Amino acid sequence: MALKKLKPVTPGTRHRLSPGFDDITESRPEKSLVKTIKKTGGRNSVGHLTMRYIGGGHKQKLRIIDFKRNKFGIPAVVKSIEYDPTRTARVAKLYYKDGSKTYIIAPQGIKVGQTVLSGDDIAPEIGNALPLSKIPLGTIVHNVEIQPGKGGSIARSAGSFVQLAAREGNYATLKMPSGEMRNVLVRCMATVGAVSNADHMNESVGKAGRSRWRGIRPRTRGVAMNPVDHPMGGGEGRASGGHPRSRKGLYTKGKKTRHPKKYSDGLIIARRKK
C-alpha cells in the first residue's frame, strides 16, 4: 500500500500525504463484532476535565479484536481486509469452520481467501499463531503475549514486528521494535509476520481540521502560558522558560521515569538504544 500525494488545490491538500486504501476489500464492518464508543471529551464521571486537548471528533465504532487466537486447530478463512478508525493497522475478518467470526490484526501480505490456523503443530506461515517454542529462530512475529493466555500485547501497531532471537529453557529472547532484548516465556503465543500498513508513519494530516476530526484539540505550549498555569510560563518577551518540565513540575526530555525496581527488570537482557 503506497501513500497518495494530493494535488495542492487547497492549502489543506498541499502537504497532505494520504494513505492509499488499495488493500481494503470491504467498507462496512461486521455488525456483531463492533461496539459504539462513547466520547468523553476528556471529562470523568463527575464532569471534571481530567485529560486536556480531547474533544469533538467523528463518531467511531470499536472493532472487537481477537488477541488471544485460542481456537486451536480450527481453520479460518480471511473474508476481508478492513479499515479500523481506532487503530493504525488494518484488521482482517476471519470466518472459522465452526461458524464463528472474529477480527484479527492484519499481517503484512495476508490475502483474502487465505486460510490461517492457530495451535502447536502448524506451519509457521503468515497469519498463523503459534507458541514461541514452536516458531523457528529468526522469524518475524507480532501480537506477542507477555503472559500465557492473556492475549497479545507486544507489536500491534502499524508496521511493527518482533524478531525471535534465541531460546533457552523456559524463555525465548525477543528483539523488540525499540532494540531492547527481552525474555518472554516460550508458552506465550505470537502471530507470524509483521503488522500491516507500514506506511502509516509517513502520513501527513495536512491541516489542523483533520486533527479535530480525530478528536484532538489544539495543544498550548507551556512557554505561552502565565506563571500561574505552568512552570515554564511567564517572563518578559519570548523567554525560553528554563529547563523543560511538565505542568506539574516534573523534568522531561531526559529524566528517567521507569521505576528502578520494576518487576520485569530481570527479563530485560539489553536496554533499548538511546
With cut-offs at 50, 70 and 90, classify the pLDDT of residue 1: low
CATH level 2 (architecture), domain 21-201: Beta Barrel (2.40)
Question: What's this model's pTM, rounded to 2 decimal places?
Answer: 0.90
Strand partners, 15: none
pLDDT digits (tens, 9 = 90+) for 192-227: 999 999 999 999 999 999 999 999 999 999 999 999
Query: In CATH terms, are 21-201 and 223-267 the same topology?
Result: no
The predicted model gives 132-158 an average pLDDT of 96
Residue 147 clears pLDDT 80, i.e. is over it: yes
For the chain, domain boundaries: 21-201, 223-267
Superfamily of domain 223-267: Ribosomal protein L2, domain 3 (4.10.950.10)
Extract the C-alpha cell encoding 85.
478508525
How high is the pLDDT of residue 117? 96
Q: 120-123: long-range contacts (C-beta < 8 A, 24 or more apart)?
A: 120/72
Do residues 110 and 81 touch, judged by C-beta distance below 8 A? yes
Grid cell 510560563 — which residue? 233
How high is the pLDDT of residue 273? 74
The predicted model gives 37-41 an average pLDDT of 94
pLDDT digits (tens, 9 = 90+) for 17-28: 999 899 999 999
Residues 6+ apart with CB under 8 A from 239: 223
How high is the pLDDT of residue 254? 86
pLDDT digits (tens, 9 = 90+) for 229-249: 999 999 999 888 888 999 999
With cut-offs at 50, 70 and 90, classify the pLDDT of residue 274: low
Extract the C-alpha cell encoding 42.
476528556
pLDDT digits (tens, 9 = 90+) for 41-60: 999 999 999 999 999 999 99
Phi-psi label, residue 257: left if phi above 0, alpha if psi -120 to 50, beta otherwise = alpha
Percent of the chain with pLDDT over 90: 91
Average pLDDT taken over every residue of the chain = 94
- First vs last Cα of the chain: how many Å apart? 31
